[in-house]
Each structure stands twice: as structure tokens, then as C-alpha cells.
């Protein structure tokens, strides 16, 4: 399948759908084809991709030791209260 030529406007309009992987493979290929050839749209896409990666990284935070301890204690409690045969 040949890529469909998109205007810069169409690319920017769908940029987040593309970054969020909401497009089907043909639509994504159309965007990629444009991004490989258009410096302006590529720069914009890279910016949003970088920011998105930084947001994604906020989803990791050192779990405090007391949380680890609490979970172990809860699991210990379960081990005692039932014989852990799942059914």
C-alpha cells in the first residue's frame, strides 16, 4: 500500500492519536511517511514524544519500606488464615 500524502495540518491534528498508538497501521504509516520528510512536523513530534516520555517516567517512584513491610505482613496474615489452596 502506498502512503497517502497528508498535509502538515492533518499530521498535527492526528499527532497525539499517533503517539498514543490509536491509529491503524495504514494511518500510522501515512504519518510516519510525512514525519520522515517534513522537518517541522518531525520536530514537533519529537517534542511531544519527549514530553510524553517524561510524563510516563513519573509513574515510577520508590515504594517506601513500610509499604513492603505492610504487604509482607498482609500476605503472612493470609497464609495463616487460609491454607492458600485456591479454589
Partner 1 sequence: MRFDDAASRREWFERRLAPLMDRLYGTALRLTRHPADAEDVVAEAVIKAWSQLGRLHDPERFEGWLFHILTNTFISEWRRRRSRPHAGNADTLEPVELDSASFTLFQQLHQPFLLWWGSLEDQFFNGLLQEDLEQALDALPDAYRVTIVLVEVQGYTYEEVASLLGIPVGTVRSRLSRARSRLQKMLWVQAREAGVVLGGKEGGAQE
| Shortest distance, position 15 Cβ to partner 1, whole Å | 10
Interface of this chain with partner 1, residues 27 to 86, rule: CB under 8 A: 43-44, 47-48, 50-52, 54-64, 66-68, 70-71, 74-75, 78-79, 83-86
Q: Quick one: what does residue 8 bind among partner 1, Zn ion, none, with the CB cut-off 5 to 8 Å set by partner type?
A: Zn ion
Tell me the CB-side half-sphere exposure of residue 30, using CA atoms within 13 A: 18
54/24 Cα distance (integer angstroms): 25
Count of residues of this chain found to bind partner 1 when the rule CB under 8 A is applied: 36
For residues 37, 39, 45, 50, the Cα torsion angle rounded to the nearest 10 degrees is 120
Amino acid at each position: 500500500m502506498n502512503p497517502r500524502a497528508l498535509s502538515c495540518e492533518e499530521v498535527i491534528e492526528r499527532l497525539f492519536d499517533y503517539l498514543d498508538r490509536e491509529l491503524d497501521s495504514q494511518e500510522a504509516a501515512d504519518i510516519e511517511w510525512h514525519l520522515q520528510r517534513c522537518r517541522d512536523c518531525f520536530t514537533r513530534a519529537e517534542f511531544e514524544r519527549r514530553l510524553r516520555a517524561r510524563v510516563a517516567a513519573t509513574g515510577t517512584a520508590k515504594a517506601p519500606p513500610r509499604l513492603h513491610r505492610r504487604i509482607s505482613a498482609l500476605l503472612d496474615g493470609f497464609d495463616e488464615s487460609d491454607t492458600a489452596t485456591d479454589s
